[in-house]
């Protein structure tokens, strides 16, 4: 079976983490379609590039958090979401689950954990 190549959008406001995640995605052979640091940018890039996976940080700079951004994105495109979070409190976890996300990964995470989450994405 051929490896499925995903079109991935990274939404992360910490530039170092964003770069680390970008390197992981490229090492795994997936296509990076864009990077955003805010919910507003994420919505714009998602509509433009139609990624099949969005790696979304929950806490973002600006007025909108990642969960809110995903709710808006899903009104425009059908996509899969894997949340990257530094704080997995119950309230955010429940809000994230309500968006029908594929997975929620706690930072810091390994390339193995990212691979496991990407493997959960339906073809």
Q: Where do the domains of the chain lie?
A: 1-16+31-79
Q: Are residues 37 and 66 in contact, defined by beta-carbon separation less than 8 angstroms?
A: no
From the number of C-beta atoms within 10 Å of its C-beta (0-12, 13-18, 19+), residue 99 rates as middle
The reported pLDDT for the residue numbered 3 is: 63
The reported pLDDT for the residue numbered 1 is: 40
44: its two tokens: 């714009």
The reported pLDDT for the residue numbered 42 is: 98
**pTM for this structure?**
0.94
Strand partners, 69: none
From the number of C-beta atoms within 10 Å of its C-beta (0-12, 13-18, 19+), residue 108 rates as exposed
What confidence tens digit (pLDDT) does each residue in 41-53 have? 999 999 999 999 9
The reported pLDDT for the residue numbered 87 is: 76
The reported pLDDT for the residue numbered 27 is: 97
* Fold that domain 1-16+31-79 belongs to in CATH: Rossmann fold (3.40.50)
Residues of the chain with pLDDT under 70: 1-3
């Amino acid at each position: 079976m051929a490896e499925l190549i995903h079109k991935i959008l990274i939404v992360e406001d910490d530039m170092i983490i964003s770069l680390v995640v970008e390197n992981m995605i490229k090492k795994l052979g997936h296509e990076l379609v864009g990077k955003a640091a805010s919910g507003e940018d994420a919505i714009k890039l998602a509509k433009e590039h139609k990624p099949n996976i969005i790696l979304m940080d929950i806490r973002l700079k600006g007025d909108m958090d990642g969960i809110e951004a995903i709710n808006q994105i899903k009104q425009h495109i059908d996509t899969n979401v894997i949340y990257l979070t530094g704080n997995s409190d119950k309230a955010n976890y429940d809000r994230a689950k309500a968006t029908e996300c594929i997975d929620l990964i706690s930072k810091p995470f390994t390339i193995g954990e990212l691979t496991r989450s990407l493997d959960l994405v339906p073809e």
